[in-house]
Amino acid sequence: MKKLIWISVIANVFFLDILSKLLVKRYIPFYGERVIIPNFLSLTNIVNRGTVFGFFSTYERGFLYFVFLILSIFAFLLILYVFLKTSSNEVIANLSFSFIIGGALGNIFDRIVNGGVTDFIDIYYGSFRWPTFNLADSFISIGAILIIGEMILHRKRRVCSLSSQK
């Protein structure tokens, strides 16, 4: 029963990601920009046909597209497997995996339907510009940070409990 809660988190992350991409495509022209906070944050409608941070994005929908798609699906299935094996009582782990799975589903769906991933969150200051990203990327990153933090804390708790047994 508790896994249903996490599945609803996955569905909500997926829905928010797809909805945000649809709204950006509807209200911001391709390569268009809407400044939200001057010299810091804009919404910019672009499509990333490559991998993380736009690497290999100049390639058309050919061999590399299918390699990236298959790697994405493989990584998604691996995370899904770990998620399904995780106890429902492990809140941080389940939240982390739910964020990662929902975000991955959003990006995979976008890549299949549109031939690339819609990115729109553009953070910059002066000449510094972070690669444009989307909500799915944000959820995946937050999930990864949470799971790494949980692993570190779990290891510290384990070491502390072992040392207190002496």
CB neighbour list of residue 10: distance below 8 Å, 6 or more residues apart: 98, 101, 102, 105
**Listed residue (85, 110, 96, 81) closest to 140, CA to CA:** 96
Judged by DSSP in three states, 71 sits in helix
Q: How far apart are CA 84 and CA 98, in angstroms?
A: 10
CB neighbour list of residue 59: distance below 8 Å, 6 or more residues apart: 49, 50, 65
| CA torsion through residues 17, 19, 55, 46, sign | negative
Q: How far apart are CA 26 and CA 61, in angstroms?
A: 23
- With beta carbons less than 8 A apart as the criterion, state whether 114 and 38 touch: no
Q: How far apart are CA 23 and CA 2, in angstroms?
A: 32
Residue positions annotated with a catalytic role: 119, 137
